């Protein structure tokens, strides 16, 4: 099934609501992958010579072919990232400009993409159409179900080309890749600090605003995020759901378990750029004893 919706008309042109991304500058490689199938009445089909997939709209085939050739003619002027269709570039550009043209009619929250608004709308309706066949857990998005299913199968189809680490979701791999490249696309408009993840920027922004919307029902202490509140509540309940697989020591939150695990593996991922000393936690890197003693 094509990711681009079918166009009406002669099958040669892109949908009318998009600026035509395909023109005379389409390269020869793309054209060489296109083969016209037999015309059965009005049902003319266009076939990809690379994989055999067929399309009723030639423009959809041209977009598909770019997946084989790697052609990305639309480039972001801010970060240089390339895209196969102009619509994707326009959507990506909003990440830099902060434009959010799609508003939720229920709560007024705004979004950069219509698809994200659609997902958000389900938080109001409670609609969860996708159910796990193994445990019955339901999800509002098919992609979330696919990721969840991998927890049952252990499947991690997306591998990092640099370190080989594998992931259940492509989006998680993309996020991980930024740890190698140092790419930080999200910038704080107040202090200029940059982040690799949008969620981290949102969290950081609350430091400037002083917003702490999540309050503990037991002691009243407020937190920037629901995750931090959940971890804090466990200090009252005594719950420690995260156990070390080596020594069985238990922790209130996954981050603490992750740091603890390094005491067994010897992993020290944080490196001082001045003296090359390595640390298990980032806080120790910031106060590197070798450098502060100089």
**How would you write the pLDDT of the chain (294 residues) with one tens digit per residue?**
332 223 233 334 444 433 333 333 343 344 555 555 545 445 678 888 888 888 888 888 988 898 888 889 999 998 888 998 898 899 889 888 889 999 999 888 898 888 888 888 887 887 888 898 988 888 888 878 887 888 788 788 888 888 888 887 787 888 788 777 777 778 888 888 888 777 788 888 888 888 888 889 999 998 888 888 888 999 999 998 889 989 999 988 888 888 899 889 988 888 877 788 888 887 777 676 666 654
* Structural contact between residues 86 and 33, judged by C-beta atoms closer than 8 angstroms: no
**Which of residues 83, 98, 113 is at a domain's end?**
98
- Check the CA dihedral 112-115-116-120 and report its sign: positive
Classify residue 207: in a domain, yes or no: no
Helices (H), 198-287: 198-209, 226-237, 254-265, 282-286
C-alpha count within 13 angstroms, C-beta hemisphere, residue 282: 3
Cross-strand pairs, 54: 47
**Stretch (H or E) spanning 135:** none
**Which of residues 81, 98, 115 is at a domain's end?**
98
Domain count, the chain: 2
**Stretch (H or E) spanning 86:** helix 86-97
Classify residue 2: in a domain, yes or no: yes
* Structural contact between residues 270 and 284, judged by C-beta atoms closer than 8 angstroms: yes
- Domain with 259 in it: what CATH number? 3.30.160.60
Classify residue 183: in a domain, yes or no: no
Classify residue 91: in a domain, yes or no: yes
**Which of residues 36, 69, 98 is at a domain's end?**
98
With 0-12 / 13-18 / 19 or more C-beta atoms within 10 angstroms meaning exposed / middle / buried, residue 182 is: exposed
Classify residue 5: in a domain, yes or no: yes
**248 lies in which domain range?**
212-294
pLDDT at residue 37 in the model = 53
Classify residue 177: in a domain, yes or no: no
- Whether the model clears a pTM of 0.85, i.e. scores above it, the answer is no
Classify residue 174: in a domain, yes or no: no
Classify residue 237: in a domain, yes or no: yes
* Structural contact between residues 30 and 71, judged by C-beta atoms closer than 8 angstroms: yes
- Check the CA dihedral 36-37-38-41 and report its sign: negative
């Amino acid at each position: 099934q094509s990711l681009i919706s079918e166009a009406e008309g002669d099958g040669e042109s892109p949908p009318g609501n998009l600026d035509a991304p395909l023109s005379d500058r389409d390269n020869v490689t793309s054209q060489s992958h296109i083969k016209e199938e037999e015309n059965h009445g009005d049902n003319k089909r266009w076939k990809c010579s690379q994989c055999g997939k067929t399309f009723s709209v030639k423009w959809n085939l041209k977009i598909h072919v770019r997946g084989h050739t790697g052609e990305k003619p639309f480039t972001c002027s801010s970060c240089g990232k390339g895209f196969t269709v102009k619509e994707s570039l326009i959507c990506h550009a909003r990440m830099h400009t902060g434009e959010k043209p799609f508003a939720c009619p229920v709560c007024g929250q705004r979004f950069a993409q219509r698809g994200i608004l659609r997902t958000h709308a389900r938080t109001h309706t409670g609609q969860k159409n996708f159910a796990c066949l193994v445990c019955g857990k339901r999800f509002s998005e098919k992609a979330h179900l696919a990721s969840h299913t991998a927890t049952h199968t252990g499947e991690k189809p997306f591998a990092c080309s640099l370190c080989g680490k594998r992931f259940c979701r492509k989006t998680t791999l993309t996020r991980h890749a930024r740890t190698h490249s140092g790419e930080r696309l999200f910038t704080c408009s107040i202090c200029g600090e940059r982040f690799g993840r949008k969620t981290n920027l949102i969290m950081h922004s609350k430091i400037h605003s002083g917003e702490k919307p999540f309050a503990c029902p037991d002691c009243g202490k407020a937190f920037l995020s629901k995750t931090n509140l959940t971890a804090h509540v466990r200090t009252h309940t005594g719950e420690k759901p995260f156990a070390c697989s080596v020594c069985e020591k238990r922790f209130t939150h996954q981050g603490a378990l992750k740091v603890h695990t390094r005491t067994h593996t010897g992993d020290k991922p944080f490196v001082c750029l001045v003296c090359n000393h390595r640390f298990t936690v980032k806080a120790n890197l910031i106060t590197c004893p070798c450098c502060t003693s100089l």
